[in-house]
Amino acid sequence: MAQCVLWQANGLVATADTPETCQGFVLQTATEYTSTLTLAQALQPPAGTDIGAAFLLGFSLPVVCFVVARMVRSVFVWEK
């Protein structure tokens, strides 16, 4: 669990403050630190290249499917 500490003349002194109201430093365990980094990475906005690639895929995939379907349809109509 995170612990609030204050810097005083004799070093770091632990307080009973919650991390939200801490006026000094918050000490975390290794597990808390790892989970904080994981959450921060998950909430980062995607890069511009990722957004561009997703848009291109979302736009071009239906168009390519439509063109392929029209070509297949024309082959079947031509064989009748």
Token reading at 59: 């736009």
More confident residue, 80 or 53: 53
Domain boundaries, the chain: 1-44, 46-80
* Ordered alpha helix ranges (H), 1-80: 30-42, 48-79
pLDDT tens digits along 3-48: 899 988 889 899 888 888 988 999 888 888 888 888 888 888 888 8
Q: Is the pTM of this model over 0.85?
A: no
DSSP bridge pairs for 4: 26
Distance CA 65, CA 49 (A): 24
pLDDT tens digits along 39-54: 888 888 888 888 889 9
